[in-house]
Amino acid sequence: MVRWEPDAEGRLRVAALELYTERGFEQTTVADIAERAGVTARTFFRYFADKREVLFAGSSVLQDLMVTGLKDAPAGASPLTAIAAALDAAATMFGPERRTFSRQRHAVITANAELRERELIKMESLGAALAAGLRRRGVPDPRAGLAAQAGLAVFHVGFQNWVAGGDEDFADLMRAGMADLRGLAAEA
Amino acid sequence: MVRWEPDAEGRLRVAALELYTERGFEQTTVADIAERAGVTARTFFRYFADKREVLFAGSSVLQDLMVTGLKDAPAGASPLTAIAAALDAAATMFGPERRTFSRQRHAVITANAELRERELIKMESLGAALAAGLRRRGVPDPRAGLAAQAGLAVFHVGFQNWVAGGDEDFADLMRAGMADLRGLAAEA
DNA sequence: ATGGTGATGTCATTCAATGACATCACCGGC
DNA sequence: GCCGGTGATGTCATTGAATGACATCACCAT
């Protein structure tokens, strides 16, 4: 007989996504989440900095994947080609089996302004990491920042298509978005 | 003898920026701001939805300016050229006389994650408005969304240069950023 | 003068967030 | 087998953001 069930953090994540889906983010209190997970509210705040953060545990994984993908791009690649490699690496996290989960999570986030704010700042953090990666590859500012932001634009638009769409491959959507961006910039 | 001094909203804005600068955002309570403005905390929340919003009163003005600039771009202009016109229109809000204020406000915002979140969601709103403007000009999705996001990237990078730099003209920075973006996309 | 209106104040409440301290199963050393 | 340390959790108290309900009262139109 153990004193506590293991994996309180995982149970809190599951409970939070469930309740945010059932009632909405604002109508859910931290005490509700904790109760469903079988812990107290105080324990919730030991695992997550705030009520929003419980939905964003995977974001550092994505960031690491993309930064690694950027680092491993061919040395001679142009900035945007290197960014394309980072986008390609992100596809690891968005296989077909993750779609249902991603869709549910995305629906919760888009339904609430505070959660969108948090998602945006994670994106900004990702952008800063990509810009730093480009600088490490010798791309000077402000081109590094600009290329990173442009890559985020492709990610953002492509991700929404992936979540909203049918069964398109994530990597294909990223490549198509990058091609679109290049097409736009080529027009007078 | 009037019952209340006029322009409580303006006094609250000034008091908030002062206190956020002096002590930092987290170390300032709404009661502090209200007291300096000569009202109660309840009145603060009648003018501003939350403690952050007091810094973002001008953001809808910027959005209107840029959307108008986009609408007034030549009918034959390409998506990115139309976006460039929107960026140019934004320069109205960023003349040399606004720099000191913008710098102070920007310093407060960058120093605090919650305030950066709020700024980012204002940017997202701007991006959505620009994308809608492009669609009204006949640009189909996903190119409209992509061009709008790319425009935000130019704005973002350019604005930081304007605030951090010496006396560069805002419109010049926007044009330079757009040229950089086109250069990046032209590389293999 | 009079009654309505709008801006503000007062009061009470909920809930997010955090610090201080207590509890107690588990584990390693003896 | 006992025993002290450790880590995860609970309990309690507090601050401050945010909001609803209701009161107040100068000002204005009639």
The answer on B102 and B35 residing in a single domain is no
The answer on B149 and B105 residing in a single domain is yes
CATH number at residue B166: 1.10.357.10
Test mutation, B52, B87, B121, chain A, max A CBs within 10 A: B121
Residue-wise DSSP of B95-133: -GGGHHHHHHHHHHHHT-HHHHHHHHHHHHHHHHHHHHH
The answer on B151 and B118 residing in a single domain is yes
Average pLDDT, chain A: 96
How confident is the model at residue A113, as a pLDDT? 98
Q: How far is the CA of B10 from the C1' of C17 (A)?
A: 30
Distance (Å, whole) CA A45 – CA A54: 10
A71-117 tens-digit pLDDT: 999 999 999 999 999 999 999 999 999 999 999 999 999 999 999 99
A64-73 tens-digit pLDDT: 999 999 999 9
Residue of least CA–C1' distance to C23: A3
The residues near A136 (Cβ < 8 Å, ≥ 6 apart) are A71
How confident is the model at residue A133, as a pLDDT? 98
**CA distance from start to end of chain B:** 72
How confident is the model at residue A188, as a pLDDT? 78
Dig out the tokens for B120 from the structure. Answer: 């980012």
Q: Report if residue B109 sits inside a domain.
A: yes
Residue from B129, B146, B159 nearest B68 by CA: B129
Q: Report if residue A1 sits inside a domain.
A: no
Separation in Å, CA of B5 to nearest CA in chain A: 34
How confident is the model at residue B2, as a pLDDT? 78
Residue A34 approaches strand C within 7 Å at CB? no
Pair A174, A155: CB distance under 8 Å: yes
Q: Report if residue A143 sits inside a domain.
A: yes
**Share of residues in chain B with pLDDT > 90 (%):** 93
Number of domains in chain A: 2
Dig out the tokens for A118 from the structure. Answer: 């948090």
- Chain A interface includes B184 (CB < 8 A): yes
B1 falls in which pLDDT band (50, 70, 90)? low
The answer on B156 and B79 residing in a single domain is yes
Nearest CA in chain B to A118: B117
The answer on A160 and A84 residing in a single domain is yes
Cβ contacts of B118 on chain A, cutoff 8 Å = 117
B21-63 tens-digit pLDDT: 999 999 999 999 999 999 999 999 999 999 999 999 999 999 9
Residue A39 approaches strand D within 7 Å at CB? yes
Pair B58, B93: CB distance under 8 Å: yes
The answer on A63 and A47 residing in a single domain is no
- Chain A interface includes B121 (CB < 8 A): yes
How confident is the model at residue A181, as a pLDDT? 93
The answer on B143 and B176 residing in a single domain is yes
What is the helix, strand, coil percentage profile of chain B, to 5? 75, 0, 25
B120-169 tens-digit pLDDT: 999 999 999 999 999 999 999 989 999 999 999 999 999 999 999 889 99
A165 falls in which pLDDT band (50, 70, 90)? confident
Q: Report if residue B3 sits inside a domain.
A: no
Cβ contacts of A149 on chain B, cutoff 8 Å = 150, 152-153, 156-157
The answer on A114 and A62 residing in a single domain is yes
- Chain A interface includes B79 (CB < 8 A): yes
Supply the pTM of this predicted model.
0.95
How confident is the model at residue B188, as a pLDDT? 77
Q: Report if residue A181 sits inside a domain.
A: yes
Q: How far is the CA of B86 from the C1' of C17 (A)?
A: 41
Range of the domain at A87: 57-186
The answer on B90 and B42 residing in a single domain is no
The answer on B144 and B112 residing in a single domain is yes
Cβ contacts of A153 on chain B, cutoff 8 Å = 146, 149-150, 152-153
Which among A78, A121, A153 has CB closest to B150? A153
- Chain A interface includes B98 (CB < 8 A): no
CB distance B156–A143 less than 8 Å? no
How confident is the model at residue A1, as a pLDDT? 61
C-alpha distances out from residue A187 to A158, A180, B133, Å: 21, 11, 18
Distance (Å, whole) CA A76 – CA A70: 12
A166 falls in which pLDDT band (50, 70, 90)? confident
Mean pLDDT calculated for residue range A123-145: 96
Distance (Å, whole) CA A18 – CA A37: 11
Helix axes of B143-164 and A143-164: crossing angle, nearest 10 degrees? 150
- Asked whether the predicted pLDDT for residue B176 surpasses 90, the reply is yes
Distance (Å, whole) CA B167 – CA B170: 9
Distance (Å, whole) CA B76 – CA A156: 27
The answer on B155 and B82 residing in a single domain is yes
CATH number at residue B43: 1.10.10.60
Cβ contacts of A188 on chain B, cutoff 8 Å = 78, 81
A2 falls in which pLDDT band (50, 70, 90)? confident
How confident is the model at residue B156, as a pLDDT? 94
How confident is the model at residue A86, as a pLDDT? 98
